[in-house]
């Protein structure tokens, strides 16, 4: 099903309003900083995120009175062909989980880094590339790297780390369930639960 840009914008605003109202109801305030991990974007689509999606998000914030949170938008790329190795004795092996590469092989156009958050049982562990396309929250590269690595520990269906931040995995699971089974939004008592795991 294809949606017009206006329908997409209205659905995004509706979703954002519900997301924003939940912390307000619980904490009696809206968040001052928002970090968004955007998955499923290739290098050729980065400009679309910057020129189309981010302005829509910022426009949605205008629906709240006197609310302009600072924001970081990080694109998550798992489908990459980059591998890293470290030498152990006389062999080349995958680096340990938590390894960050943020120089030499990174882009000169974007603020990006590679994170190897998980270990593989067999073969080579493939890192995930993270590209910060907006950072009005003034988070340092090191802070984003640490936050990202910690979020890779927060997936409740696995005892170790996963390849991408847990919110990305949760979003994939919920989108799959909604598209395959539910065909509509879940009941409101379930909205703040991880029922889709």
Is 192 inside any structural domain? no
Q: How many CB atoms lie within 10 A of CB 179?
A: 9
**40-61, pLDDT tens digit by residue?**
899 999 999 999 889 988 888 8
Residue 187 is assigned to a structural domain of this protein:
no
Any domain includes 196: no
Q: Residue 75's domain is classified under what CATH number?
A: 3.30.420.10
Report residue 145 as tokens. 């790297």
- How many domains does the chain divide into? 1
Strands (E), 94-161: 99-101, 111-116, 128-135
pLDDT digits (tens, 9 = 90+) for 98-132: 889 998 888 888 999 999 998 777 777 889 999 99
| Domain-embedded: residue 66 | yes
Residue 118 covered by a domain: yes
Q: pTM for the full model?
A: 0.84
Tell me which residue range forms the domain holding 94: 5-182
Q: Which residues of 45-72 are buried (b: 16+ CB within 10 A; e: fewer)?
A: ebeebeeebbeebeebbeeeeeeeeebb
Q: Does some domain include residue 96?
A: yes
Nearest to 32 by CA among 65, 5, 58, 70: 70
């Amino acid at each position: 099903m294809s949606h017009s840009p206006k329908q997409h914008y209205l659905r995004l605003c509706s979703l954002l309003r519900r997301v924003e109202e939940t912390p307000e109801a619980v904490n009696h305030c809206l968040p001052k900083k928002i970090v968004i991990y955007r998955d499923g974007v290739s290098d050729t689509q980065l400009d679309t995120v910057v020129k189309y999606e981010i302005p829509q998000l910022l426009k949605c914030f205008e629906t709240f009175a006197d609310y302009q949170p600072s924001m970081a938008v990080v694109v998550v790329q798992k489908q990459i062909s980059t591998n890293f190795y470290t030498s152990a004795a006389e062999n080349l092996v995958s680096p340990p989980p938590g390894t960050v590469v943020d120089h030499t092989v990174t882009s000169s156009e974007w603020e990006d880094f590679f994170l190897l958050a998980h270990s593989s049982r067999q073969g080579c562990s493939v890192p995930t590339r993270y590209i910060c396309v907006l950072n009005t929250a003034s988070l340092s590269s090191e802070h984003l790297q640490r936050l990202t690595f910690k979020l890779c520990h927060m997936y409740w269906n696995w005892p170790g780390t996963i390849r991408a931040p847990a919110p990305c995995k949760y979003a994939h699971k919920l989108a799959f369930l909604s598209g395959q089974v539910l065909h509509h939004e879940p009941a409101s008592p379930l909205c703040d639960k991880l029922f889709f795991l």
